[in-house]
Amino acid sequence: MLKKKITGIVLASALALTMAACGGSADKGGDAKEAASSCKDAKLAYMTVSTSVPFWRSIAVGAESQGKEEGAQVTTYDSKLSQSTQMKNVQDIITSGADAIIISPTDSAAAVGVLDKAKAAGVPVVIADVGTDGGEYASYVATDNVAGAAKAADMMLEALKEKGITSGEIGMISISQTRQNGKDRTKGFTEKVEAAGFKMIPLLESSEYTRSEGLKFTQDLMTAHPNMVGLFTQHDEATLGAVTAIQTANAKGKFVLVGFDGSPDTMQAIKDGIVYGASMQQPVLMGVEAVKAACSVITGKTPEKRINVDTLPISSLNVRDKEAEASKTVFAK
């Protein structure tokens, strides 16, 4: 009797181990295997920083487009530049039964709370841009912002050299410095231009991410630093606000303007000679890669922990050659 009981326990234990190795259980094995075979009909949620900013809309467009390719449902949630809204969104997403979350955090510190909530609920997370100060995630899809900003610095130095300028002050309108991508852009650009002998004016940090804010910041810099030789704008709305400031003051050519990110309006400003160039992220492509990474997790695969998407350096020298490529990967249609 005792022998039979021990034998039964051993067999049951062996069965349990076998099922665990297969990623299932005796009563759920069929369902788990079916769910892992494809991303079809999966529910994915994309939490964006703000749908009012073209860059984030472009990531959403890329994610939704790739979702259709995979046969998955991608729902976009707008955090409206608010940490509290972002936390409410993640709770709503978990309650809705999402299979995976893609997040562009409002800032790197706030991302940690989202990742902790998702982990507790057993929902895998892919980060698309910005970055996080901690927490667990399956994959991080992003631009190498240090390298991308260094490309912007190269364009700045190239334009200044053409004008015969070898020293002077350069201004900067940044994105939030609580975001890792903001810190990286500042670092990549500053190190390169300072090494070339230029002096950085203390940066002006964006909070609204609007053209009107970029206009005001540029006007402030032009007033306080009339001999400024260059301006680096870390996001597209700031670039276009600077364009308006230059046009209003009839100051075309007074200093070199180089941006980060891009849009059809920025492409036109480059053609018009107001903006020298921009190191353009490819947000549509980032959205595509984020969904691919999420689907890899859902189907039991392990995506790359870091997926880099290069910037496109576009200037007055190559703008017409690069326009078609940019329209597919930079701009949302």
pLDDT tens for the chain, 333 residues: list them: 433 333 443 333 443 333 333 333 333 333 333 445 889 999 999 999 999 888 999 999 999 999 999 999 999 999 999 999 999 999 999 999 999 999 999 989 989 999 999 999 999 999 999 989 999 999 999 999 999 999 999 999 999 999 999 999 999 999 999 988 999 999 999 999 999 999 999 999 999 999 999 999 999 999 999 999 999 999 999 999 999 999 999 999 999 999 999 999 999 999 999 999 999 999 999 999 999 999 999 999 999 999 999 999 999 999 999 999 999 999 876
Reported residue count of the chain is: 333
Phi/psi of residue 205, nearest 5 degrees: -100, 125
Q: Which residue from 39, 43, 95 is spatially nearest to 71, judged by alpha carbons?
A: 39
- Dmax (CA) for the chain in angstroms is 98
CA atoms in the 13 A half-sphere facing the CB of 18: 7
Within 218-305, strands assigned E span 230-233, 256-260, 277-280
Question: β-strand 230-233 against 312-315: which pairing, if any?
Answer: unpaired
CA 277 from chain centre, in angstroms, equals: 20
Q: Which residue from 241, 245, 131, 253 is spatially nearest to 185, judged by alpha carbons?
A: 131
Beta bridge partners of 75: 45
Query: Are the beta carbons of 332 and 57 closer than 8 angstroms?
Result: yes
Phi/psi of residue 44, nearest 5 degrees: -110, 145
